[in-house]
Structure 1
Amino acid sequence: MRGARRWRTRSGSRRLTAREDEDGRVQTCTRRSAREDGASGARGRRQLQGLRPAGMQALVLLAAARGKHERMRGCSDEGRILVFLVKEGELQLIKAKETKGAVYSLKSFNGKLLAAINQKIRLYKWVQRNDRSHVLQFECAHDGHVLSLYTQTRGDFILVGDMMRSLSLLIYKHEEGKIEEVARDLNTNWMTAVEMLDDDIYIGADNCCNLFTVCKSPYGFLEAVGEYHLGDVVNRLHHGSLVMHHADSGTGQFPSVIFGTVNGAIGVIVSLPYDLYAFLEKLQSVLVNFVKGVGNLSHAQWRSFCNARRTSSARNFVDGDLIESFFSLSPSQMVEVACAMGVPPVELYKKVQELTNLH
C-alpha cells in the first residue's frame, strides 16, 4: 500500500489508504469513516457463521468456549460448535459438537466448515448418517500456531492470524485431504484482524494500532510490503463499501475493504491504481509543508510503524487526512501547492474532491 489517508469530521474520522506491489499493481487503499456504537463488531468467545450445504436448508453455526483455567492459560479447555437450522424465521438447534479448546473463528469453506480452535485449524464436513441425521465429521487439521484467533479464506487458501506469530498462509489439498502451510510472516505481530485483499496480498492489524500488508515471497515466506500507524486498534476487516458507487464514477471501480476499531470507528481500505497513488504520495509530501499537526508533531513520526520490537517509517501508504486538508488551505496556498505539483489549481481541486466519493 503506498498511501493512507485519514479525514476528521464532526461525526468521527475517515481514512484512505493505497498500496502497490513490486510489479506496480496497486493492492489497497484505506479510509476511515464515521463512528457508530458497536460498529466495530467486537470479537469474543462467540463466532457466528452461515453455512448452506448443497441441497440443504440454510444453517447458522455458533461457537463458544468455556473452562475454569481460561484466565490462567489464556485459552479455554473446551468449547462447542452449535448448529442451528433456519426454519420459518426461527433458529432450531439440531447439533452440538464438543471441541477440545476455544473456537475463535468459524468460516464456510468450500462447502465445509473451517474452525480455529486454540492452536489448531480444523476442517469439518457436514455428512448424513444412515438414520438421515447429520453430524459434523472431522476431516483434517493443521497445527503449529500459538493461538489461532482469526481466519480468512479465498479459493483453497486460508489466512490465519495468530495471537503472537503474525500471519500464516495455508492451502487445502482436496485430493490428499490435508492442510499444509505455504508461507508465514517471520515477524512477531500480535494480531487483532486479518483479510485477504486478493490472491497475493494480505492485510493485518496488530495490537499496537498498526496496519501492515504482506505478499507471498518466492523464498517461501510472507514479505511485508506496507506498514502504517493507524492510531486505533482494528478488530474487524471485511470486504465491502460504505457508499453506493455510480458506474460513471472514476473512484467507483476501486475494490475496498471495510474495517472497524475498538473505539467504534468505521473505515474503508481501497485499492488505487499506481498512477493515482504516486500522485497522492507526491501531494502528501508537498502538503506537510503547509499543514501542521496538533502541537507541531511530526507527521512522519506519528505515521511510523511502531511496536515493542522495532520502529520503521511508514511505507506504501498515503495519509488521507493530510490529503483532504488541502480544502482547508487558503486560495493562495492552494495555488502554491498546485504549482509545486505542476498541475492547474482547478484540476488539483477536482482530483482531491473526487476522492471524497469514496465515503
Structure 2
Amino acid sequence: MCKRMMLLREGVCSCFLLVKIQIIQTSPFQVSEVYSKELKGAISSLASLQGHLLIASGPKIILHKWTGSELNGVAFFDASPLYVVSLNIVKNFILLGDIHKSIYFLSWKEQVSQLRLLAKDFGSLDCFATEFLIDGSTLSLIVSDELKNVQIFYYALKMSESWKGQKILSRAEFHVGAHVTKFLRLQMFPTSDRTNATPGSDKTNRFALLFGTLDGSIGCIAPLDELTFRRLQSLQKKLVDAVPHVAGLNPRSFRRFHSYRKAHRPGPDSIVDCKLLCHYEMLPLEDQLEIVTRLERLVHRFSQV
C-alpha cells in the first residue's frame, strides 16, 4: 500500500481541503477527507515552506503548521499587496508576486515565527509569474508581466541604490513577445562536464528556468559565466547587422522592455538572445569567418565557447 498527501483547492467556496489518497493494488483510488477549513477570500496560491503550508488568500499570506489533526496559523503577512498571484520558495526565502504591485521579497524566521519583508519593487507591475533564478551563491528574482516582458531583480543590502536594502534592483530585462504564465526551475549540469571548460567556472548549484507562454511556445533562461557572456554579447552585436531579418525588423528594438505610457529607465544589458545567436551557425563559412575576424581578440578563443 502506498500513501500520499495531496492538497486540493476550492476557490469558489473559499476553503481548502486536506485529503489523503490511498493507492491499493486490488482496488481503485480511495480518497478521504482529513481536514477542511474556510477562509475569507479565494485562495490564489499555495506553497510549502520548511514543512509548513503557505497560503495566499487575496492580499494576505498565512503560514500554517500541521499538528496532525488540524492546521494552525503561525505567521502572516499583509503589509500592502493587493492580490497575491504567485508564491515561490527557496530555503527560508519567499518571492511573492502581486497582480498590480510587482514583487515582494520576504524571509521566514522559525525561531520567532515571523514573516519579514526584506525588500520589494516600488514600481507598479502586473505580475503573471515569478520564480527564483539560482547561479551558485547568487540569487535572483524573476518576474513576467502583462506586457510580455521578463525582468530579473536582485537583493543588495549594502548598495546605496537599494535604499538600505528596502528596494530590489534590476539585473536584466527582456521582451519575450508572449505572456509567460509559468516558470519551472531545473538544475543544470556542472560546467566541468564539458570539454575545455574554463578553469574555476564549475558551479554545481546552478539552475535554469524553463517557461511556457499563452501562445503555446516554450523557452529557457539560463545563467552564463562572465567570459562566455562577453563573447556571445559581442557576437550578438555583429549579427544584428550581418543577418537579414524578417521584414527588416530590428531584433534589438523588439527585445527592449515595453512599457505602456510610463517612463521607464532602461535596465542593464545582461541578456543575450539565443534565437538571434542561432543564425550564426546557419551562415556560410565565409560569412562566419568574416564576423569572427571583426571580433579581433576573440578570434582564437571563440571556438572554446
TM range (shorter): 0.7 to 0.9
How many residue pairs are counted as aligned between the two chains? 279
Which residue is equivalent to 2:64? 124
Aligned counterpart, 1:248: 193
Q: CA deviation at 1:189?
A: 1.0
Aligned match of 1:258: 210
Q: Which of 109, 113, 130 is the aligned partner of 1:177?
A: 113
Q: Choose the corresponding residue for 1:303, options 252, 255, 259.
A: 255
Q: Measure, in 1, the Cα distance between the counterparts of 2:21 and 2:73.
A: 23
CA contact (8 A) 1:304 1:311 kept: no
2:5 matched to which residue of 1?
59
- The corresponding residue for 1:99 is 39
Shift in alpha-carbon separation, 1:273–1:175, aligned structure 2, 3 A? same
Residue identity opposite 1:200 in structure 2: L
Distance in 1 between residues matched to 2:95 and 2:126, nearest whole Å: 15
Could you tell me how far apart the structure 1 residues matched to 2:285 and 2:192 are?
Answer: 32
The TM-score normalised by the length of structure 1 is 0.71
Aligned to 1:235: 181
What CA distance in whole angstroms lies between the structure 1 residues aligned with 2:77 and 2:289?
58
Cα pair 1:305 1:312 within 8 Å, conserved: no
Closer/same/farther in 2, CA of residues 173 and 64 from structure 1, 3 Å limit? same
Q: 1:267 to 1:153 in 2, by over 3 A?
A: same
Tell me, yes or no, if structure 1 residue 149 matches structure 2 residue 48. Answer: no
For residue 269 of structure 1, the aligned residue among 221, 242, 253 is 221
Q: Is the 8 A contact 2:103 2:121 kept in 1?
A: yes
Alignment of 1:213-228 (within 5 A): 213-218=152-157, 219=164, 220-228=166-174
- SS of 1:306 mapped into structure 2: coil
Whole-Å separation in 1 of the counterparts to 2:192 and 2:289? 32
User: Which of these residues, 334, 340, 346, is aligned with residue 288 of structure 2?
Assistant: 334
CA shift at 1:311, angstroms? 5.0
CA displacement at 1:260 relative to structure 2: 1.1
Contact 1:82 1:95 in 2 (8 A): yes
Would the aligned equivalents of 2:231 and 2:302 in 1 still touch at CA under 8 Å? no
Secondary structure class of the residue paired with 1:301: helix
1:127 & 1:324 partners in 2: Cα distance? Answer: 54
Partners of 1:231 and 1:63 in 2: CA distance:
31
The residue type paired with residue 224 of structure 1 is S
Amino acid at match of 1:317: I
Letter in 2 for 1:325: H
- Which consecutive unaligned segments of at least 5 residues does structure 2 have? 158-163, 198-202
Residue matched to 2:132: 196
1:120-171 CA distance string (max 9 Å, x none): 111111113xxxxx11112221002110110101121111000011110111
Higher RCO structure, 1 or 2 (CA under 8 Å, sep 6+): 1
The answer as to whether partners of 1:306 and 1:312 remain within 8 angstroms in 2 is no
CA distance in 2, matches of 1:263, 1:282: 31
- The percent identity for this pair of structures is 24
CA distance in 2, matches of 1:335, 1:343: 14
CA apart distance, 1:79: 1.2
Structure 1 alignment gaps of length 5 or more: 1-56, 67-77, 129-133, 352-359
SS at match of 2:270: coil
Deviation at 1:200, TM superposition (A): 3.2
Aligned residues: CA RMSD: 2.5
In the alignment, the residues of structure 2 paired with residue 270 and residue 312 of structure 1 have an alpha-carbon distance, to the nearest angstrom, of 24
TM-score by length of 2: 0.83
Amino acid across the alignment from 1:194: T
| Shift, 1:222, TM fit | 0.7
